[in-house]
Amino acid sequence: MSTAPRSVIVKGTGSYTPQKALTNNDLSKIVDTSDEWIFTRTGIRERRIAAEGETSSTMGAEAGIRAIENAGLSPEDIDVVVVGTMTPDMPFPSTACLVQDKIGIPNAISFDVEAACSGFLYIMEVAAGLLATGRYRNALIIGAEKLSSILDWEDRTTCVLFGDGAGAAVLGHAEPGEDRGIIDFKLGSDGSKANMLHQPGGGCAIPPSPTSINDRQHFLKMRGQEVFKQAVRVMGQAAVEILEQNGVEADQLKCVVPHQANMRIIDSLSSRLHIPIERFFLNLDKYGNTSAASIPIALDEAARAGRLERGDIILLVAFGAGLTWGSTLLRW
């Protein structure tokens, strides 16, 4: 006799950020900028930069180990590993396979998903879908980025925004009778706006060559004002729609964990949802934009700081290159 599928819950979280902090004052010695210019426009004070030898897989593995420990599990209990990254260690094999080996997970399917800054919400839905089949027990999902490796350190409009790091969560099944878990997802994309935020070189369209290197095609490129307008619009839309579709009022949200990209975007989301900024979890000032690592780092820090309690309704919301966006509603 079949039984109803159990809810998918977050069993544990973990994160890792490099030791080296690059402050706004440090950046002012590299490019024409200042602490005041960066902070008033973004809300960022500093960001972390990976050391030599640190990669998306090494940072992701450390975050993953911490998440597995936090969940009270061992590597043997994990049977799915999904990594969201736009800065993989190499084009192939997947960063997830490298993470699987570094942690020592003996039996798991492992693969990457690339949805830029929305990556963690994308991999959360993918992993939750796999768990819902009943064929898998526990999934380790990781957002990991070494954005310092693709930044143009001569472009003050982009190099001041991003940092390195990794965040992770273990998803599993709720116990019978547990009233918690992931409530819903709302994901979207619009490939017609891909050139607003992209890295032109390095793929098969513009493979590495002396010309592509001289033309600085292997660095991140962004049309900042256009990206800002789109982010404000679609993050607000994704948040409003998921609340309406699930009959949840904004004042029922205990905590909102947004993608940490720009304080003005987060302020706009706070105004649209009529939720005080105090109910948002923010670490943007410390880490800058860590892309797919942004939400899981913040989620882990929020959980460990006691901001999330059993039964709380939590909203995750993100926006990234692609263009991609998404929101996730869960009961902690």
Q: Which one of 173, 203, 236 terminates a domain?
A: 173
Q: Is 166 left (phi over 0), alpha (psi -120 to 50) or beta?
A: beta
Task: Specify if 1 maps to a domain.
Answer: no
Q: Say if residue 161 is in the same domain as residue 16.
A: yes
Q: Say if residue 165 is in the same domain as residue 199.
A: no
Q: Say if residue 65 is in the same domain as residue 121.
A: yes
Q: Say if residue 262 is in the same domain as residue 232.
A: yes
CA 187 to chain CA centroid, Å, is 14
* Averaged pLDDT, 54-63: 98
| Catalytic site includes residue 159 | no
- Distances from the Cα of 15 to the Cα of 12, 67, 169, 183, 293, angstroms: 11, 7, 9, 23, 9
Instruction: Say whether 250 sits in a helix, a strand or coil.
Output: helix
| Catalytic site includes residue 283 | no
What CATH number has the domain bearing residue 37? 3.40.47.10
Catalytic annotation, pick one of 70, 97, 159, 259:
259
Catalytic annotation, pick one of 24, 70, 283, 289:
289
What digits encode the pLDDT tens for the residues 310-320? 999 999 999 99
Q: Say if residue 163 is in the same domain as residue 226.
A: no
With bands split at pLDDT 50, 70 and 90, how would you rate the model's confidence at 5? low
* Averaged pLDDT, 186-193: 98
pLDDT score at 315: 98
Q: What is the mean pLDDT of the chain?
A: 96
Q: Which one of 118, 150, 173 terminates a domain?
A: 173
Q: Say if residue 160 is in the same domain as residue 185.
A: no
pLDDT score at 3: 43
Q: Is the pLDDT of residue 4 over 80?
A: no
Overall number of domains in the chain: 2
What digits encode the pLDDT tens for the residues 256-310? 999 999 999 999 999 999 999 999 999 999 999 999 999 999 999 999 999 999 9
Q: Which one of 138, 173, 208 terminates a domain?
A: 173
pTM over 0.95: yes
Local structure of residue 305 (DSSP, 8 states): T
Other C-beta atoms closer than 10 Å to the C-beta of 104 total: 11
Residue 113: which domain range?
8-173
Q: Is the pLDDT of residue 2 over 60?
A: no
Catalytic annotation, pick one of 117, 138, 159, 173:
117
Q: Say if residue 169 is in the same domain as residue 300.
A: no
- Distances from the Cα of 256 to the Cα of 40, 146, 280, angstroms: 22, 25, 5
Contacts of residue 276, Cβ cutoff 8 Å, sequence gap at least 6: 270
Q: Say if residue 40 is in the same domain as residue 167.
A: yes
Q: Determine phi and psi for 273, rounding to 5 degrees.
A: -85, -10
CB 123 within 8 A of CB 138: no
